């Protein structure tokens, strides 16, 4: 009988208890063990060649090459259950480090591991050792090399990489946002689709990041011509420069993140773009790049034939970012003036947000609620009560509809059946009021976070 760690912890816990506790120091947290790196040039790999990585020999570096003056810090995944199961752990190693290195522009992938001790089946009896590299490459639908020398030898081609598709936006940011030695960093957004030669294979490499950062992420079928892709790059200077005010003359591209959008059909001859996947890699997060990419996407689709832009299943952090951007945009619209906001939600608000920025009506309503809270004087009891009531009415609307539906069926069903329906569908008043108050508190806390960012 062979037993994997997963079955050991679930079905064979008691039988193998002793064996398991003897090996508990060999269970690694997979989120901590995986190390990502965006590699700009061979110098980034010096440490790796020095380490005792048995699968590799030292590469023949070409030191005369122009090299990026920027190093991208390594980073960790946010989740890894799609690879290593719900427990997110890897059995069989001490001091395990799984290296997932991507060349920064072409996204060629190196996958390797180092460890100080590895158990063997002879040592563990029947307990199987995990094979983390296999688990990863099985889910990667693209070529991965386990040979660091081979990976390194291709790095000289990174400088000549030109992104796929057309450039849609260039912008710069001040970095750090509030530090003393502020520098400008330059970025460029490209739009591509599956008709561009080579892009399908590139997309296969980009999407390997998804399962590490997006809950329940899955790969998409990009054969469908209705997919649009926006890919964001940083332009990394190739020469040290003291003049950070102007764009670097010599630079190489470094992948920052990307977004996939599906153009749904909307009657009669319009489109309804839907943001499906949106990712900014950790070394580039919280410096305004997601906001910039989203704003550029809004501008790109701000044409007559677009009905509105929707987002498929937004993550909590994406929703925060989107709320801040949408409120910033809408707070200058005439229908979102404090007077109009205090009169309640209106069709005109939805219309104006859609016409000006293609914001969907559902999101426009959220923007209204946030901006109205911003203009409410919470020290004024009446004003504040009236706001809370408006939100609770919206929250309670589905329940009210359910009651109306039940009343409608009353004459059509036997009395006993109707009583059973009432019993299962009607929530006691006290419980409902309590639940509404809790829901309101959560919403208000979210909204106040956004308001704080609006200044």
Ligand X SMILES: CC(C)(COP(=O)(O)OP(=O)(O)OC[C@H]1O[C@@H](n2cnc3c(N)ncnc32)[C@H](O)[C@@H]1OP(=O)(O)O)[C@@H](O)C(=O)NCCC(=O)NCCS
Judged by the rule CB under 6 A, the positions of this chain that interact with ligand X are 213-214, 278-280, 285-291, 314-315, 317-318, 320-321, 324, 453
> For residues 275 and 109, is the Cβ–Cβ distance under 8 A?
no
One-character DSSP codes across 381-450: HHHHHHHHHHHHHHHHHHHHHHHHHHHHHGGGS-HHHHHHHHHHHPPPHHHHHHHHHHHHHHHHHHHHHH
Residue 331 three-state SS: coil
Paired with 264 in beta bridges are 272
Query: Minimal distance in Å, beta carbon 275 to ligand X?
Result: 7
What is the closest distance, in whole angstroms, from the C-beta atom of residue 382 to ligand X in the complex?
A: 31
Cβ of residue 423: shortest distance to ligand X, in angstroms?
Answer: 39
Q: What is the smallest separation between the CB atom of 186 and ligand X, expressed in angstroms?
A: 16
For 168-212, the DSSP string reads: EEEEEEEESTT-SS-EEEEEEEEEE-TTSTTHHHHHHHHGGGHHH
Interatomic CA distance for residues 249 and 196, integer angstroms: 27
280 or 341: CB nearest ligand X: 280
Shorter beta-carbon distance to ligand X: residue 261 or 321: 321
Choose between 248 and 257: whose C-beta lies nearer to ligand X: 257
Q: Which of 46, 131, 312, 417 is catalytic?
A: 312
CA-angle at 452, arms to 339 and 359, nearest 5°: 60
SS3 14: coil
Asked if 312 is an active-site residue, the reply is yes
Judged by beta carbon, residue 432 or residue 453, the one nearer ligand X is 453
With beta carbons less than 8 A apart as the criterion, state whether 188 and 233 touch. yes
Based on CB atoms, which residue is closest to ligand X, 15 or 453? 453
* Least distance between ligand X and beta carbon 278 (Å): 4
Q: What are the residue numbers of the active site?
A: 312
């Amino acid at each position: 009988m062979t037993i994997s760690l997963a079955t050991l912890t679930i079905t064979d816990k008691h039988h193998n208890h002793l064996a398991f506790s003897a090996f508990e120091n060999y269970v690694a947290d997979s989120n901590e063990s995986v190390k990502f790196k965006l590699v700009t040039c061979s110098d980034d790999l010096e440490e790796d060649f020095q380490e005792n990585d048995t699968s590799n020999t030292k590469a023949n570096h070409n030191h005369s090459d122009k090299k990026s003056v920027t190093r991208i810090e390594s980073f960790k995944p946010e989740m890894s259950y799609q690879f290593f199961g719900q427990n997110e752990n890897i059995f069989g190693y001490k001091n395990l480090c799984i290296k997932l290195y991507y060349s920064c522009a072409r996204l060629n992938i190196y996958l390797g591991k180092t460890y100080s001790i590895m158990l063997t089946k002879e040592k563990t009896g029947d307990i199987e050792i995990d094979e983390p590299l296999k688990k990863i490459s099985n889910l990667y639908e693209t070529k991965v090399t386990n040979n660091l020398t081979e990976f390194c030898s291709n790095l000289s081609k990174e400088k000549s990489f030109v992104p796929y598709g057309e450039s849609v936006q260039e912008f710069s940011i001040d970095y750090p946002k509030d530090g003393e030695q502020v520098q400008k960093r330059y970025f460029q957004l490209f739009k591509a689709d599956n008709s561009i030669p080579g892009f399908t294979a590139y997309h296969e490499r980009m999407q390997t990041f998804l399962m590490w950062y997006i809950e329940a992420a899955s790969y998409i079928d990009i054969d469908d011509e209705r997919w649009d892709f926006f890919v964001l790059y940083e332009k990394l200077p190739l020469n040290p420069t003291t003049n950070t005010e102007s764009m670097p003359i010599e630079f190489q591209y470094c992948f920052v993140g990307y977004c996939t959008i599906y153009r749904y059909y909307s009657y009669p001859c319009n489109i309804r773009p839907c943001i499906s996947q949106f990712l900014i890699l950790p070394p580039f997060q919280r410096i305004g790049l997601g906001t910039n990419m989203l704003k550029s996407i809004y501008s790109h689709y701000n044409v007559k034939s677009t009905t509105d832009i929707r987002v498929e299943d937004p993550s909590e952090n994406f929703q925060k970012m989107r709320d801040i951007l949408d409120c910033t945009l809408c707070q200058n619209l005439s229908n979102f003036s404090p007077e109009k906001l205090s009169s309640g939600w209106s069709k005109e608000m939805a219309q104006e947000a859609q016409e000006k920025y293609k914001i969907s009506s559902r999101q426009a309503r959220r923007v209204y609620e946030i901006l109205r809270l911003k203009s409410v004087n919470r020290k004024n009891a009446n004003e504040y009560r009236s706001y809370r009531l408006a939100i609770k009415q919206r929250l309670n609307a589905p329940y009210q509809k359910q009651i109306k539906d039940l009343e409608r069926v009353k004459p059509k069903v036997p009395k006993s059946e109707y009583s059973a329906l009432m019993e299962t569908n009607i929530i006691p008043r006290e419980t409902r009021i309590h639940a509404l108050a809790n829901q309101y508190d959560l919403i208000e806390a979210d909204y106040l976070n956004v308001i704080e960012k609006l200044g």
